[in-house]
Chains A and B, each alone.
Chain A
Amino acid sequence: QQQVKQSPQSLIVQKGGISIINCAYENTAFDYFPWYQQFPGKGPALLIAIRPDVSEKKEGRFTISFNKSAKQFSLHIMDSQPGDSATYFCAASMDTGRRALTFGSGTRLQVQP
Chain B
Amino acid sequence: NAGVTQTPKFRILKIGQSMTLQCAQDMNHNYMYWYRQDPGMGLKLIYYSVGAGITDKGEVPNGYNVSRSTTEDFPLRLELAAPSQTSVYFCASSYRALGQGAVTYEQYFGPGTRLTVT
Contact = CB atoms under 8 A, between A and B. Distances in A.
B58 A98 contact: yes
Given A46-B108, A100-B48, A105-B42, 20 more contacts: A32-B105, A36-B109, A41-B112, A42-B112, A43-B90, A43-B92, A43-B111, A44-B90, A45-B109, A89-B43, A91-B42, A95-B103, A97-B50, A98-B48, A98-B56, A98-B58, A102-B42, A103-B35, A103-B43, A106-B42
B111 A106 contact: no
Interface of B: 4, 31, 33, 35, 40-45, 48, 50, 56, 58-59, 90, 92, 94, 96, 102-103, 105-112
Contacts, number: 63
Contacts of B43: 44, 89, 101, 103
Nearest to B39: A106
A103 B40 contact: no
Contacts of A98: 31, 45, 48, 50, 56, 58
A6 interface: yes
Interface of A: 2, 4, 6, 9, 32, 34, 36, 41-46, 49, 51, 89, 91, 93, 95, 97-106
Nearest to B102: A51
Main SS class of interface, B: strand
B103 A101 contact: no
Nearest to A105: B42
A95 B1 CA distance: 28
A99 B43 CA distance: 14
Contact of A104 (B42, B59, B105): B42
Nearest to B105: A99
B52 to A, nearest CB: 15
A105 B41 contact: yes
Given A44-B43, A100-B45, A103-B43, A93 B105 contact: yes
Nearest to B92: A43
Nearest to B33: A100
